[in-house]
Amino acid sequence: MSAVLQDRPEPGTVDLTRSLPGQEALLTPAAQAFLAGLHVRFEGERQARLAARRTRQAAFDAGALPDFRPDTAPIRNGDWRVAPIPAALQDRRVEITGPVDPKMVINALNSGANCYMADFEDSTAPTWANLLAGQEALREAIKGTLEFTGDNGKAYALRPEAEQAVLIVRPRGWHLDEKHVLVDGQRLSASLFDLGLFCFHNAVALAAKDRGPYFYIPKLQSMEEAALWNAVLGDIEATLGLSHGQVKVTVLIETLPAAFEMDEILHALKDRIVGLNCGRWDYIFSYIKTLRRHRDRVLPERGQVTMVQPFLRAYSELLVKTCHRRGAHAMGGMAAQIPISGDDAANGAALARVRADKLREVTAGHDGTWVAHPALIPLAREVFDAHMPEANQVHIARDDVHAERDDLLRPSLGTISKAGFEGNVEVCVRYLAAWLDGNGCVPIHWLMEDAATAEIARTQLWQWLHFADDGHEPLHLDDGTPVDFALLERAFIGLPSKFNDQLRMPGASRINEAIGMLDRLTHADELADFLTLPAYERID
């Protein structure tokens, strides 16, 4: 046994606070000991990282602005590259993403996309049942035995492995706990639960097939958080007998602070990282959250915050330049439009927006993109095939990009309309209701809504409604109406008329609870860090 493994502290005692039929097949004594070991070795550092986030945010609230770090200039200026990228991840031009229920897993693996990001994060409501079903579905998929029959009798089976998308799993972020697993009485980190349990059951099998395991890492804020992931992954490799660097990750740059540490994050994970991704929805949410007290940087209504806003363009181009300089892939992100059935004109307009977004990405130098729905794969592929003849375009240097701090923070022009305000209220309430009911991704007005898109709506409402704190004049809508809590009340009263299909709406039974939550979150003096933190205490 290696010295690292010998010197480890005892794993700790595990209590499962919930019991569902079949869970013992996943949470075997050995799996529990594996998770407990991760907790004992890494929980202290996780808490230190979360405390560092709070300290940094306090400085931003006091008027500081994010900036590139002087102490890490040698990393930014140094000449180094990430480890070689495995063959299975050389061509990632179209990646489909989606929650982890068995039907979605089969549909996504069979979809014809190059990769499938199986998502325990933005698009999954982490009920215990959803998490276990997702872990089980992925384990069966890797064994090649996953099957599913819908309530309508439709049967689903996997295509041959060579025709399947390459699997990449996204665990939840560092801020979340898994309340159903206690180690010595403390909640386990949700990240360690999702990634740890997946690795315990599948890492060796995937490594044997030269398929990873591969992960997407969400919501990082600093290179120290990346270093924590690197330590966890190295520890898992050692415990499971995998070679150093066998596990590969792509990191989502989807927080404003992380945009100032892209080189540093690549460097901290350089033996294991294969790319960065523009997680635009969380990035917009993070811009609002980080700069919540900066009244000169309030964003216009959500629909106007598109990737052509200068601060978003600067971030995505800097990501391409940074990745390519280091030999890593620069992945694009998700357009929220999904196919619209029964209205050809509206469908054509939605698809045109997706096409324009993919064209912007490929011509900026991105090496691949995301789609939310299988019907969008041919469109994204066509655009990337037309402009990216090789497997990727890592060789394109983008030395023409000079994104400075002011570019990444640039205030945006735009307005807030009554429809924009009310739309935020509707999205928050409907999404939260669905999430509380166990559904983490829903179509609302033909847009894909998940935790990240809903967070934009929630934080905008808080920021707009608290604009008048400290004696400032309130914000006004473009028609002159002051943005105040009376406006929020009126939006709540008007909500039912927007639910023209209330009975079939996901989460309809939890609408009143969702309204109550949004009301409390928007009235609170402090902006809650994540919507999903209080909401998690309300799910099973």
Ligand X SMILES: CC(=O)SCCNC(=O)CCNC(=O)[C@H](O)C(C)(C)COP(=O)(O)OP(=O)(O)OC[C@H]1O[C@@H](n2cnc3c(N)ncnc32)[C@H](O)[C@@H]1OP(=O)(O)O
- Of 103 and 325, nearer to ligand X (C-beta) is 103
Residue from 174, 281, 285, 536 that binds ligand X (CB under 6 A)?
281
Interface stretch with ligand X, choices 30-38, 100-108, 197-205, 268-276 (CB under 6 A): 100-108
In the complex, what is the shortest distance from the CB of residue 130 to ligand X, in angstroms, rounded to a whole number?
A: 13
Sole residue written with tokens 């620069």: 330
In the complex, what is the shortest distance from the CB of residue 281 to ligand O=CC(=O)O, in angstroms, rounded to a whole number?
A: 3
Q: Are 36 and 183 in contact (CB under 8 A)?
A: yes
In the complex, what is the shortest distance from the CB of residue 61 to ligand X, in angstroms, rounded to a whole number?
A: 26
Separation between Cα atoms, residue 209 and residue 212, nearest integer Å: 8
Separation between Cα atoms, residue 283 and residue 151, nearest integer Å: 38
In the complex, what is the shortest distance from the CB of residue 252 to ligand O=CC(=O)O, in angstroms, rounded to a whole number?
A: 5
Separation between Cα atoms, residue 262 and residue 398, nearest integer Å: 15
Peptide bond into 213 cis (omega under 30): yes
Closest CA to 66 of 263, 230, 289: 289
In the complex, what is the shortest distance from the CB of residue 451 to ligand O=CC(=O)O, in angstroms, rounded to a whole number?
A: 8
In the complex, what is the shortest distance from the CB of residue 333 to ligand X, in angstroms, rounded to a whole number?
A: 7
What is the set of active-site residues?
Answer: 170, 450
441: number of CA atoms within 13 Å, CB side? 19
Interface stretch with ligand X, choices 97-105, 236-244, 320-328, 379-387 (CB under 6 A): 97-105
Interface stretch with ligand X, choices 55-63, 91-99, 227-235, 384-392 (CB under 6 A): 91-99
Specify the length of the chain in residues: 540
- Is 452 one of the binding residues for ligand O=CC(=O)O (CB under 6 A)? yes
| φ, ψ dihedrals at 317, nearest 5° | -70, -35
In the complex, what is the shortest distance from the CB of residue 306 to ligand X, in angstroms, rounded to a whole number?
A: 14
Residue from 122, 357, 367, 422 that binds Mg ion (CB under 5 A)?
122
Token pair in block for residue 201: 């059951």
In the complex, what is the shortest distance from the CB of residue 455 to Mg ion, in angstroms, rounded to a whole number?
A: 9
CA separation, residue 336 to residues 168, 201, 207, 405, 466 (Å): 21, 33, 34, 27, 28
Interface stretch with ligand X, choices 85-93, 404-412, 439-447, 458-466 (CB under 6 A): 439-447
68: number of CA atoms within 13 Å, CB side? 17
Longest CA–CA separation in the chain, Å = 71
- Is 116 one of the binding residues for ligand O=CC(=O)O (CB under 6 A)? no
Separation between Cα atoms, residue 444 and residue 429, nearest integer Å: 11
Separation between Cα atoms, residue 325 and residue 266, nearest integer Å: 11
Closest CA to 273 of 113, 89, 95, 117: 89
Does residue 340 come out as left (phi exceeding 0), alpha (psi in the -120 to 50 range) or beta? beta
Separation between Cα atoms, residue 467 and residue 484, nearest integer Å: 9
Interface stretch with ligand X, choices 28-36, 426-434, 448-456, 489-497 (CB under 6 A): 448-456
Query: x/- binding map, residues 235-274, to ligand O=CC(=O)O, per CB under 6 A?
Result: -----------------x-x--------------------
**Which parts of 314-353 interact with ligand X (CB under 6 A)?**
334, 338
Token pair in block for residue 537: 């205490």
- Of 369 and 463, nearer to ligand X (C-beta) is 369
Number of shown-chain residues binding ligand O=CC(=O)O (CB under 6 A): 10
Residue from 31, 441, 457, 527 that binds ligand X (CB under 6 A)?
441
In the complex, what is the shortest distance from the CB of residue 219 to Mg ion, in angstroms, rounded to a whole number?
A: 7
Sole residue written with tokens 């398929």: 211
Q: What is the sign, positive or negative, of the torsion defined by CA atoms of 17, 20, 21, 25?
A: negative
Residue 153: CB partners within 8 Å, gap ≥ 6?
none
Interface stretch with ligand X, choices 32-40, 47-55, 90-98, 511-519 (CB under 6 A): 90-98
- Is 456 one of the binding residues for ligand X (CB under 6 A)? no
Separation between Cα atoms, residue 322 and residue 253, nearest integer Å: 12
Q: Which residue is nearest to ligand X (CB)?
A: 98
Separation between Cα atoms, residue 357 and residue 30, nearest integer Å: 46
DSSP notation for 466-477: TTTGGGPPPPB-
Residue from 27, 31, 104, 457 that binds ligand X (CB under 6 A)?
104
- Is 333 one of the binding residues for ligand O=CC(=O)O (CB under 6 A)? yes
Separation between Cα atoms, residue 269 and residue 517, nearest integer Å: 38
Residue 98 interacts with, from ligand O=CC(=O)O, Mg ion, ligand X, none (CB under 5-8 Å by kind): ligand X
**Which parts of 268-287 interact with Mg ion (CB under 5 A)?**
279, 282
Number of shown-chain residues binding ligand X (CB under 6 A): 24
- Is 374 one of the binding residues for ligand X (CB under 6 A)? yes
Give the number of other CB atoms < 10 A from CB of residue 157. Answer: 11
Query: x/- binding map, residues 440-459, to Mg ion, per CB under 5 A?
Result: ------------x-------
Edge-to-edge order in the sheet of strand 115-119:
329-331, 273-278, 248-253, 214-217, 166-170, 115-119, 94-98, 369-371
**Which parts of 279-298 interact with ligand O=CC(=O)O (CB under 6 A)?**
279-282
In the complex, what is the shortest distance from the CB of residue 451 to Mg ion, in angstroms, rounded to a whole number?
A: 7
Residue 288 interacts with, from Mg ion, ligand O=CC(=O)O, ligand X, none (CB under 5-8 Å by kind): none
Interacting residue ranges for ligand X, rule: CB under 6 A: 96-99, 103-104, 107-108, 111, 119, 122-123, 281, 334, 338, 372-374, 441-443, 448, 450, 452
Interacting residue ranges for ligand O=CC(=O)O, rule: CB under 6 A: 122, 252, 254, 279-282, 333-334, 452
Interacting residue ranges for Mg ion, rule: CB under 5 A: 122, 254, 279, 282, 452
